[in-house]
């Protein structure tokens, strides 16, 4: 069995739920909020701050990309969080088989040869329904908020990895959870993890 399973996911695709159930099925830990907690402790930043800045771009980061980068003003808070996040994820992977949700873990662990890289996505309408139904997000313009989240997450991923988020070739398997269904996704991933 492959030891480490990374799950990159679109917001609202159910990728986190799939990761959790998959880990239960395989009897291994699933790291999601634990990563945020550890990074918060090590960096001194608040958990909410780490949660957002460790996966999304934000106006000041975008601004630094647009303006003259030759004026180097030292590492940003985001750079500090990125470095600690890399360290925490590598340490968790060292501890043994696990599922890691999000946070560019596929890229951070790219030098290991025991990683199974998964991307979970879903149709926009299904994601909008999910964030309202399951996460209790506001019903106001969910599509607009999803598109903005996608854009910020893709920009973050590209900034730190220099790769395109959501391109098949960066992953071993990519599943549309609204087409396939959450439970069937878990079943497929369990099969692959045990047989590949």
User: Where do contacts with its own copies occur on this chain (CB under 8 A)?
Assistant: 116, 119, 121, 166-169, 171-176, 179-181, 184, 187-188, 191-192, 195-196
- Complex with its own copies: residue 14 or 40, whichever CB lies closer: 14
- Candidates 161, 61, 135; CA nearest to 145 is 135
- Tokens 């396939």 appear where? 180
Q: How far is the CB of 116 from its own copies (least distance, A)?
A: 8
Task: Name the residue nearer to its own copies (CB basis): 9 or 53.
Answer: 9
Q: Measure the CA–CA gap between 102 and 106, rounded to whole angstroms.
A: 8
Report the distance separating Cα 35 and Cα 92, nearest Å.
9
Least distance CB 57 / its own copies (angstroms): 20
Question: Which residue, 28 or 116, has its beta carbon nearer to its own copies?
Answer: 116
* Minimum CB distance to its own copies, residue 37 (Å): 30
CA–CA separation, 170 vs 39, rounded Å? Answer: 25
Structure tokens at 100: 């890691």
CA pair distance 61, 77, nearest whole angstrom: 10
Question: Which of residues 78 and 102 has its CB atom nearest to its own copies in the complex?
Answer: 102
């Amino acid at each position: 069995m492959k030891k480490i399973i990374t799950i990159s996911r679109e917001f609202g695709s159910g990728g986190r739920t799939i990761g959790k159930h998959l880990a239960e099925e395989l009897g291994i830990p699933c790291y999601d909020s634990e990563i945020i907690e550890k990074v918060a402790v090590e960096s001194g930043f608040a958990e909410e701050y780490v949660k957002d800045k460790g996966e999304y771009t934000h106006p000041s980061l975008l601004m630094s990309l647009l303006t003259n980068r030759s004026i180097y003003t030292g590492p940003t808070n985001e750079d500090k969080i990125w470095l600690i996040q890399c360290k925490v994820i590598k340490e968790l992977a060292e501890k043994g088989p696990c599922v890691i949700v999000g946070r560019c873990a596929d890229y951070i662990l790219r030098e290991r040869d025991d990683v199974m890289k998964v991307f979970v996505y879903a149709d926009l309408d299904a994601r909008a329904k999910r964030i309202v139904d399951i996460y209790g997000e506001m019903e106001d313009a969910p599509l607009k908020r999803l598109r903005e989240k996608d854009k910020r997450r893709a920009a973050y991923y590209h900034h730190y990895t220099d790769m395109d988020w959501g391109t098949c070739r960066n992953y071993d398997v990519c599943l549309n959870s609204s087409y396939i269904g959450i439970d069937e996704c878990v079943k497929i991933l369990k099969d692959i993890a045990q047989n590949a």
